[in-house]
Copies of this chain bind each other. A is one copy, B any other.
Amino acid sequence: MSKLRLNITMSLDGYVAGPDQSLEEPLGINGEKLHDWAVVLRSFQQIHGKEGGETGPNDQILGEMFADIGANIMGRNMFGPPAGGPWSSSAPWKGWWGKNPPYHTAVFVLTHHAREPLVMEGGTTFYFVTDGIESALAQAKKAAGGKDVLINGGANVAQQYLKAGLIDEMEIHVVPMLLGSGERLFDNTDARQTRYECVRLVTSPSVTHYKYRLRS
């Protein structure tokens, strides 16, 4: 059955992005360092159309993240720099990832502002959803054709799905750095989190992977 999954990297003090996100620093101050563990891996290189990269347990777990994904969901603040308001029609933002984004599926972007779908190379099409998380999920499940749907972030979208109890499986990649401030993952949530049970824990000096599944 198609599952809704969340995969996200978090600092030990709970942040998935640093403070002061901007066009120059999309993940905020020191935020990019959160993903140092991933960018060196073969799965990461592959999904970006490149060769090489390290293999091993971290690579295997990152590979699982991309496997069997039929559609993606993200928030507007992950798709583009902090801006808000309607989309520019003269120079519309096309994502951070160049012509061939590393999704290769339909990507549903949660936003308050309508926009026509944006077709990219490599199988990625961005659809802009203005009527909330449940609508985005229904559209993503349909597009996924039986495969899983992956929430990519950011924190706000992850929190909304977590609070609604809609996430079936999540893997939190914890890096042992402290960011001090920024976008917190586990915020605005509640006791529903206690329904998640840790089903796998894999560690390395650079990252510890905590995999959770919703108790039935």
Residues of A participating in the B interface, judged by any CB pair closer than 8 Å: 12-14, 19, 29-30, 172, 174, 176-181, 185-186, 189-194, 196, 198, 201, 203, 205, 208, 210, 212
- Residue on B nearest A189 in the bound complex, by CB: B180
Rounded to whole angstroms, the CA-CA distance of A210 and B206 in the bound complex is 12
Sample of 9 more A-B contacts, CB < 8 Å, known A178-B186, A181-B191: A12-B210, A13-B193, A30-B194, A176-B201, A177-B194, A178-B194, A179-B193, A181-B189, A181-B190
Rounded to whole angstroms, the CA-CA distance of A185 and B194 in the bound complex is 18
Rounded to whole angstroms, the CA-CA distance of A174 and B10 in the bound complex is 14
Rounded to whole angstroms, the CA-CA distance of A19 and B194 in the bound complex is 12
Rounded to whole angstroms, the CA-CA distance of A172 and B178 in the bound complex is 12
Ranked nearest first, the 8 interchain pairs of A and B with the lowest CB-CB distance are A176-B198, A13-B186, A178-B193, A180-B193, A203-B203, A180-B191, A14-B14, A176-B210
